[in-house]
Structure 1
Amino acid sequence: MSITKTKGSSSKAQALPHRIRDQLRYEILTGALPAGTPLKQDALATRFQASRIPVREALRQLETEGLVAYHLNRGAVVIRMDVDQICELLDIRIALEGYAVRAAVPNMGRADLDMLESILREYDEADSVPRWAELNRRFHLALCAPANNTRLRRLIEEYGLNTDRYTHEMMSMATGKDGPQADHYRILEACRKQDGALAARLVEEHIIETKKNLVAMHRMRQEG
């Protein structure tokens, strides 16, 4: 009996850094923790009712994902990316999501399609940039989930979609949500037709267009 209890405690201890990481990642991506926010280990340990060890591990994982950086005399801070770094991540998204969607579409059932449509309906009703970013993130993850590849999904989630907090802020000023949302519905329609090649191409073009508009918006800001 004592062995079982020890295993359970060990399992919970191993899961704690992941729970802390997931919550902090969500808050960073939705803008609740904006760029430049310090992430003090003592304060986080108190907040999550944990020791500094799982907090330190969670911050290390977020650093690996490019969401957090360590600065001398400041500790961990929510990172601010420049346009070149964002474009590099968008290139990764093009490769990863295109591959994932090709694999996902043949496996999509009615429940998957209904989930995608439900997310887009919420997107239609959303009226804030953080909400658009969160629903966009959910749509792209749900789109790739039927590929049934956990490692691929993790790569997409951790290294690709962390661009959303930047791209949606700038894109909302350039195009609003109507253009990207129209792309989403075209992608959904291709999924309904079980056309994986078309859905993948539309996803790739969607991200490429985001990249082009992001660079153009940045250039206009610099020139202005």
Structure 2
Amino acid sequence: MTPILQHRTLSAAILDQLRKAILDGTYPAGTQLRQDALAATFKVSRIPIREALFQLDAEGLVRFVPQKGAIVSELSADEINDVFELRCLLEPRLLARSIPNLGRDDFTQFGTFHTQMVAATATQDLSRWGQLNADFHMALYGHAGQPRTLSIVHSLLQSSDRYTRVQLSDATGSGMDGMQRAMSEHTELIDLCRSGAIEKACAFLRQHIASVHEDLLRAIERGSREETP
């Protein structure tokens, strides 16, 4: 392995671990991520740590604050609106271009995702469910032929995962309902894609994303009320 490739692989591995730690709550909102401490933890120089933090900043999971460095971003309605409004714009566009190119293997893969999500729901494995949900959406758009837009959507889905976990872990019990509704909507979306109903599929996808958006705003609002003395 060349030094450049080895460095990139190391940086990507650190990025994945830090992202997972933020998403699963190991590093909650407001946590300061000190580069020297992380470098010591991972037994690396500060260079791959800095690169990973810059990528997390681009994904909206951390923000850089003067005199403090990288801080895990707060959950906010403004961020949710930004992420989900962009998703509503970009994902239907990708889906419209991808549907004509979907084949038998793609629909087999969609079915596999559904089976795995059913299993994750049964065990309430939020981490696994969130990753499968993102992978399913990315697979839907895989034949769009727009790699730059797909890269942007991939980043948006990673940001969405953090908020979706808030919704799915909702103590009111609506989280389980949200999982089951999402899988039911995925099934309907797959059927529309299989039939080649591009306009209906895109409209349904937009509605699907908007529904999650509204649920998340309600979950954030409930959390704010519960925290208010």
Q: Same fold (TM over 0.5)?
A: yes
Return closer, same or farther for 1:165/1:14 CA change in 2, 3 Å cut-off: closer
Corresponding letter in the other structure for 1:162: S
Q: Deviations along 1:20-79, whole A, 9 cap, x unmatched? A: 324423443344543233323233324444311121122112112211112355432221
Distance 1:12 1:128 in 2: 32
Corresponding letter in the other structure for 2:141: C
Distance 1:39 1:223 in 2: 28
Q: TM-score, normalised by structure 1?
A: 0.83
Equivalent position to 2:73, from 72, 75, 79:
79
Distance 2:196 2:26 in 1: 37
Q: TM-score, normalised by structure 2?
A: 0.82
Distance 2:139 2:5 in 1: 28
Contact 2:126 2:165 in 1 (8 A): yes
Question: Relative to structure 2, which stretch is displaced further, 186-195 or 84-93?
Answer: 186-195
- Taking the TM superposition and a 5 Å limit, the aligned residue runs for 1:4-83 are 8-83=2-77
Q: Which residue of structure 2 lines up, in the alignment, with residue 140 of structure 1?
A: 137
Corresponding letter in the other structure for 2:56: L
Distance 1:49 1:167 in 2: 32
Distance 2:42 2:90 in 1: 33
Equivalent position to 1:97, from 91, 98, 101:
91
Q: CA RMSD in A?
A: 2.5
Return closer, same or farther for 1:45/1:221 CA change in 2, 3 Å cut-off: closer
Corresponding letter in the other structure for 2:160: T
Matched residue SS, 1:70 = strand
Distance 1:60 1:35 in 2: 17
Contact 1:90 1:160 in 2 (8 A): no
Q: Which residue of structure 2 lines up, in the alignment, with residue 216 of structure 1?
A: 218
Gaps of 5+ in 2: none
Q: Deviations along 1:174-211, whole A, 9 cap, x unmatched? A: 34311111111111112222333322222111011112
Corresponding letter in the other structure for 1:108: L
Matched residue SS, 1:176 = helix
Q: Deviations along 1:155-182, whole A, 9 cap, x unmatched? A: 0011344122213322553343111111
Q: Percent identity?
A: 33
Return closer, same or farther for 1:47/1:146 CA change in 2, 3 Å cut-off: farther
Distance 2:96 2:160 in 1: 22
Return closer, same or farther for 1:71/1:183 CA change in 2, 3 Å cut-off: same
Matched residue SS, 1:76 = strand
- Taking the TM superposition and a 5 Å limit, the aligned residue runs for 1:115-194 are 115-126=109-120, 127-171=124-168, 173=170, 174=174, 175-194=177-196
